Structure 1
Amino acid sequence: MDQLIKILKHDDEMVVSGRDLHDFLEVDTPYRIWIQRMIEYGFHENADYISFEQKSTKPQGGRPQVGHALKLDMAKEIAMIQRTDKGKGEYSYISTRVKHAVNGYIDIHHLVLNRKQRGMLYKDISRGLNEVTGVKTRTQLRKKDFDTADEFVTNWVPSTATLQIIKQLSDVPEGQTELIRR
């Protein structure tokens, strides 16, 4: 998966820079105010994040800035509660993962599919995603559904019924049973 924000390892934990997340989400509020508001959502120092001093990026020097190493779960939750386009994390992240899962399946199996056949794969993954998270549409995914949705997409393979329908939709001459392969 393409990384949107650099992930670092700290004491065997995967973390992201709070400042990098702030910049990525394009938050208008200054970092020092924004991060304090985010921490108030119930996150705890040394459990969900670590504070540390950073050298000032100003050429004249100045007081050290306080930075934060956020564990991935905290970073995901913060991204999901933002009111920016990039911050609508649960929907946009899962949508990107769905696209990668479908395209990955097509690439791994060297399939050449028409639009309708691709659509069947998207319907299959969306139907399963909605079923395991208990929502009617992907836009209804919420923070509590995120891990379940992410795990489902990671492990998704099309159903036998979907694969059979895709075969029926192909322009393969009668009697040939395999999907068109590159």
Structure 2
Amino acid sequence: MLANLNDVLLPAKQGKYAVGLFNVISPEMMHGVLDAAEELEAPVIIGAAERMLRFLSLEELASLLLPEAERLRVPVVVHLDHGAHEETLRRALELGFSSVMLDCSACAYEENVARVAEMADYAHARGASIEAELGAVLGEAGEIEGGLEADPNDPTRYYTDPSQALDYVTRTGADALAVSVG
């Protein structure tokens, strides 16, 4: 059954269990994840990161994931992960995705807040949920997610500031928050 993040994360918090998010780009990967979720009677978050759309279009992904999510007995969140472009997230929501992530972690704090708040209103009006990111993850060769140059000598500069997290979630309306903790 198609669900959004609140449908699976709030019960998980109360029940003290985790819900896995699996990014897939092929029918084989999707079936493996969904068959395991069904067998274990466990909710699951399934989707793809925006950067993976070069391998499979958003429309192809929707036609692959949504019918399967609706067929299952367990809650399945169909999620566009690490979206950087609002138009891509809007299109995903129009196609029926139940959740999106707008990753503005490379932006200044106030810009991040403003962009996520706007997208949260759009997603919520469609019954979907939204994940956002505060802080940034350092990759290989001193890159931050999104390909930005970073200073690998001081990774703490990119960690999520816990004192900002409550303000951020309150002001953006994000349903889930991805953080950087090292």
Regarding TM over 0.5, the answer is no
TM-score, normalised via structure 1 length: 0.28
TM-score, normalised via structure 2 length: 0.28
More strand by share: 2
